[in-house]
A = this chain, B = another copy of it.
Amino acid sequence: MIKVAIIGGSGYTGGELLRLLKQHPDVKITAVTSERSAGKDISVLFPNLKGYGLKFEPFKPSKVIKKADLFFLCLPHKASQDAVSYIYKSGKKTIDLSADFRLKSAAVYKRWYQTRHMYPALLKKSVYGLPELYRDKIKHASIVANPGCYPTSAILALAPVMGNRNLDTNSIIVDSKSGVSGAGRSPSLPLMFSEASQSVKAYSITTHRHTPEIEQELSSLLKKNINIVFTPHLIPMDRGILSTIYVSAKKKIKLSDIQKKYREFYAEEPFVRILKSGEYPTTKSVLGSNYCDLSLFMDTHGNDTQTLIIVSVIDNLLKGASGQAVHNMNIMYGLDETAGLTSISSCP
């Protein structure tokens, strides 16, 4: 049994980790921390986890470090930096769900997060935890930077065509739609039921912090720097991200060739499904599962232009956060990659 601790476990990603790991055959949760809820049973914050028998404790590093071998960090960005460094020095492993170790460049981090990165050396040690791209590195990583929810939906949708010379990689537009849980669990007016229900809005246009993360990974695949246009939207639903992605073609391309490429690229992947031609993914059909469903379309109705449209859906708290973290753990410890992640989405 792997002994794991969850640091900062009172939010939605912490709750999902508790739920998933409780059902994981090879894991024992030895600690879950929360400063504000220290001493309380976890069911006070997670009524779904009644009868679990776990209490929140404060995060005292010297005490908690002894309890576990692997630490899932669900702290806000910046707060994660010290914790990751401490755990790393102790020779233990971290899966960090914050953004602190995702960007390889401390300068880019500073520009987007308006704070200095205190451990640039550790950025080189950390592995971007997208199993479909970095499985081998994850196996041997001590620090896994678990990807953001939007980046997961966008990078998986674009990775197979990043080498395609007939596509204009300077034209990529990612229009993403997210459920409200993606904004976290801290009460605020725009996230109140009566404000968010029955409404859709765009937000953080040109300024969302997941932009450089997507750009970093696409640039790495392309082996040249690119920029994208990324627009997130808030949708009146609890969970789920649907990204609609547009890439202009420079030459005529056959949709079937692109579809074939995707099927090959993800042939061995347990959590990526390519839908049949013309089939539309819905966020609802992946809720509660760790799947990313992709569907491909080609707009050729105009004479002059041709646009590849990729639609991607994930559960932002599973494949977009805690599910992917468990997947990373399974890889790090040589377990069956789907262990603890076999839950099937329900209807409705």
Contact = CB atoms under 8 A, between A and B. Distances in A.
Contacts of A51: 273
A187 B229 CA distance: 32
A345 interface: yes
Interface in A225-271: 226-229, 231, 233, 235-240, 242, 244, 246, 248
A344 interface: yes
20 contacts: A23-B344, A47-B282, A48-B284, A48-B345, A50-B273, A173-B246, A177-B233, A187-B191, A191-B192, A192-B193, A193-B196, A197-B236, A198-B237, A198-B238, A198-B287, A198-B348, A199-B285, A200-B242, A202-B244, A205-B299
A336 interface: no
Interface string A335-348: 00000001111111
Count of chain copies: 4
B199 A284 contact: yes
Could you say which of A47, A187, A240 has the most chain B C-beta atoms within 10 Å of its C-beta?
Answer: A47
A189 to B, nearest CB: 5
A298 B206 contact: yes
Interface string A268-292: 0000010000001111111111000
A334 interface: no
Interface string A104-128: 0000000000000000000000000
B238 A344 contact: no
Interface residues of A, number: 88
A297 interface: yes
A30 interface: no
A283 B199 contact: yes
A187 B185 contact: no
A167 to B, nearest CB: 14
A248 B247 CA distance: 13
Given A235-B200, A282-B47, A185 B194 contact: yes
Contacts of A181: 194, 348
A64 to B, nearest CB: 23
Nearest to A307: B229
A27 to B, nearest CB: 14
A201 B280 contact: yes
Contact of A280 (B203, B246, B280): B203
A231 B309 contact: yes
Nearest to A181: B194
B200 A348 contact: no
A192 B109 CA distance: 30
A32 B273 CA distance: 24
A148 interface: no
Given A246-B229, A301-B211, A344 B19 contact: yes
A303 interface: yes
Contacts of A281: 47, 201
A69 interface: no
A301 B233 CA distance: 19
A16 interface: yes
Given A231-B309, A297-B206, A197 B238 contact: yes
